[in-house]
Structure 1
Amino acid sequence: MTRTPKPEASLPEADSALQHKHAPRPLPLFLELVRIVSETRPQLASKALDGLALYEQAERARQRPERPAIARVGGTSLRDCGGSGAPVVLIPSLINPPHVLDLDDNTSLAAAIAQGGRRSLLLDWGTADDRAELDLAGHIERLLLPLIGQLGERPALVGYCLGGTMAIAAANLAPVERVATLAAPWRFARYPDAGRKSLLTLWNSARPVAIRLEALPMEVLQSAFWSMDPERTVAKFAAFAELDPHGDKARRFVTLEDWANEGEALPYPAARALIEQLFEQDLPGRGEWRVGGRAISDRLSCLSFHITASGDRITPAATAPAGETVQLDAGHVGMIVGSARHRLHQLLQQFLAA
């Protein structure tokens, strides 16, 4: 059994000497996970270090050009991903960059929606500095809803992870055509007790740093994600070491790991609301989460549909909102960019056409 190290919150500059340009963030914690795994599985740990070296040295593909913005509120925008017809707004999480929904030509969910006969619009939250004073409700009230209002017609909303939670809130407050969520949590009390307690412990440790920085560094949230399955975090780098470095699987691994390590800091008010109001108090699940002066419900008056993943540790299927649900045999990110994406695209296109 792998022991999980207690995550330690520290100022980002404290780790800078140990943080390479291309490496898991925070690198010191990753190396500690490898050390712990080495006590019982030395070959796996050794192979993971090989994978880490290969990841650091891997060639990076040229970044896709930024999609044009068709609407803006401050530093937040809707980016046009093509297509015609009624608009679909893709709402990513606040925690990681939005381009996981438009990663490349082979995996892009945004492109799949455009090809399905809809206008595909990807929400880009912009930099954390531009949203520093906003809590979760503020992101919905002052950014998401005004952008929806600029469209001039009712859009469908498709929200991924926390973006799905926010999509449901928006649908309580603005006329939308329908809502689909992908790996979106709503009933936070259904997270494993140990995971919630660990997150709260981490938050209590990190909070003085977050107050000082006016933001929660992404390294803190990454530490929480890794603690859910530390051996799996190590094992994926060991598996990467076995791949053809010039093959599609290796290139996708590099792209995804870069994405996972590029996240913006979370504005302090949003981080506090996420951890205290959602994870600790489960206000959404209890029907007590207030946005725009109203208690928000997951029982929507418009069509709704939820897709979960059986192997998802970040958003367990049990936490999904009420309503029609389909579960895919995938993980939290794999459902978006892995082989399960084909079924996800099919399900979404059917729902959007209904």
Structure 2
Amino acid sequence: MARGPKSHPETGQTRTGQTGTGEAESGPPRWPVPLPLHLGLSNLILASSCAAWPLARNGSIDWKPACRSDAAELLPQLQACPPELLGPAVLEAACARLSQVQAGIERYAGDPPARPAPPGPVVWQAGTTRIHDGAPHLAGRGGAHVLLVPSLINRAHILALGDGHGLVGHLAAAGIRPLLLDWDRPGPEEGGFGIADYVAERVRPALRFAAAQAAHLHTRQVPARWRSAPSRPVVLGYCMGGLLTLGALLGAQAAGEVEDLAAGLALVATPWDFGADPLFSAVGALMLAQEGSMRRWIRSAGGLPPEFLQALFVLRDPALPVRKFSGFAGLPPGSATAGNFLDLEGWANDGVPLAGPAAEECLFDWFGRNAPATDAWQIRGQIMRPEALTLPVFAAIAARDRLVPPVSAEALVGRLAQAATIRVPGGHVGMVAGRGARAGLWQPLAEWVLACCSAA
């Protein structure tokens, strides 16, 4: 989706009205979320430089292996500089960097991005969950179809972001009809949903709709040259969406209908083993240590606010606010790089609440007890065992993914019988919407979808 006028895609309201919390009524929040954490971490990290230089100067810091050669090269320079000059110089540099961070944040707030328009018309809806047709011109023509299922906690347009409408646009250009599932905010129906409800009441029906669209030509009188068109779609799950789609397909297989619903499954940055990464494991242990009070808080709040999850994401890389906002401050106004930053940052800040029961399962069952990897994750009595899936699978793992560590995603691939795996340069978001996404993910994915649907 390209950046357009600052108006709501459905109501046409401009982005002039802001609530008292800084949340725009018609788009992403004006300020980075959560702003206090961004500012606090920036101050803390830069202040730590002032506290650390005496230790670095006398060689008493136990550097990480990756930093030791640089530290050894720097040490003689630190020791050659008198302390009465070095201390003020470090403080001055820290203050200058903090000013850059603040300038970047204020620049973002001065021109906050609008929420992009959907990539196509709504063709299916249940509650607040909708499917947008990313290539309506391909409807009724046969060919490959793919249902794209993003995470519950972020908006769907990350898969359709940019001048060429991102992954959705690339698939459409390749002759694949992309159907993008958009969760939006939980409504009255979804407010009490757990993971099993999302799988059974949203993903499975959406998949049936996609399968009916792909098979549409087989129910009509059509030219003979079209009668060999693929009749089943591929389903793609991104991040948490991968777990939801896997659950839906395993349930469909147990019911004997998976061969009628899907030609294959594409998993993009999908976590599985929440205990394999040390930080993942630590987060889970901390969740369990405060389980009682956190469950009460989630229930009293009516769900899990997006600010909580945003804080967890930021803490995966505490130096990120310093890097990205100081860098943004130096980008030329109106440049493509600045526009891409605004698009991605707007999406990252525009999270949605997570329904309470689903949030409790994610925090305490997945992160806390590592239910998926220990065969304790069940959906309506069925244990989710990936090795039972008989469909071909395409798995994409990002080499520098901080939100879904490669070791977590690789644990899922290791349990799938038919998995073609690619390792993509970049991180969790960059792999689907960054500069290298086209060559790293979009092209091999499109080729696999076409081959998978042709073989179906």
> What TM-score do the two structures reach when normalised by structure 2?
0.70
User: What's the secondary structure of 1:244's corresponding residue?
Assistant: coil
- Asked which structure has the greater RCO (Cα within 8 Å, sep 6+), the reply is 1
Partner AA of 2:132 in structure 1: R
Which of 367, 383, 402 pairs up with 1:313? 402
1:103 is aligned to: 161
- Specify the alignment match of 1:36 in structure 2: 44
Which segment drifts farther, 335-344 or 41-50? Answer: 41-50
| Alpha-carbon contact 1:202-1:224 (below 8 Å) kept | no
* Structure 2 counterpart SS, 1:88: strand
* 1:198 Cα deviation after fit: 4.6
TM-score calculated relative to the size of structure 1: 0.89
Seen in structure 2, the aligned counterparts of structure 1 residues 208 and 234 have a Cα distance that, compared at 3 Å, is: farther
Q: Deviations over 1:84-143 (max 9, x none)?
A: 523200000001000110112335111111222221100011321241010111101111
Of residues 81-90 and 163-172 in structure 1, the stretch that sits farther from structure 2 once superposed is: 81-90
What SS does the aligned partner of 1:129 have? Answer: coil
Q: 2:427 aligns with which of 331, 344, 348?
A: 331
Of structures 1 and 2, the larger Rg is shown by 2
- Which residues of 2 match residues 184-223 of structure 1 at below 5 A? 184-192=270-278, 193-200=281-288, 206-223=294-311
CA deviation string 1:131-156 (max 9, x = no partner): 10101111011111012122324321
- 8 Å CA contact 2:155–2:352 kept in 1: the answer is yes
Q: Distance in 1 between matches of 2:289 and 2:264?
A: 37
CA contact (8 A) 2:287 2:364 kept: no
Deviation digits for residues 219-263 of structure 1 (CA, Å, limit 9, x no counterpart): 001111111111123211111111112101111111111111111
Q: What are the equivalent positions in structure 2 for 1:112-131 lying under 5 Å apart?
A: 112-130=170-188, 131=190
Indicate the larger mover: 79-88 or 133-142.
79-88
Partner SS for 2:265: strand
Q: Report the Cα offset of residue 62 of structure 1.
A: 7.7
Q: Rate the CA distance shift 1:18–1:59 in 2: closer, same or farther, 3 A.
A: closer
Cα distance in 2 for partners of 1:121, 1:199 equals 35
1:177 maps to which residue? 263
Deviations 1:50-95 (A, max 9, x none): 1001111126468325621112222212110004523200000001
Q: Tell me how far apart the structure 2 counterparts of residues 42 and 235 of structure 1 sit (CA, whole Å).
A: 14
2:284–2:364 contact (8 Å) kept in structure 1: no
Corresponding residue to 1:276 among 364, 376, 385: 364
Q: Which moved more, 1:39-48 or 1:227-236?
A: 39-48
Matching of residue 76 in structure 1 with residue 129 in structure 2: yes
| Aligned pairs for 1:211-290 within 5 A | 211-290=299-378
* Aligned residue-pair number: 340
Is 2:119–2:133's contact at 8 Å kept on the other side of the alignment? no
Measure how far apart 1:204 and its partner are: 6.0
- Point out where structure 1 has 5 or more consecutive residues left out of the alignment: 1-14
What is the match of residue 443 of structure 2? 346
- What is the one-letter code of the residue matched to 1:169? G
Q: Supply the AA of the counterpart residue of 1:186.
A: W
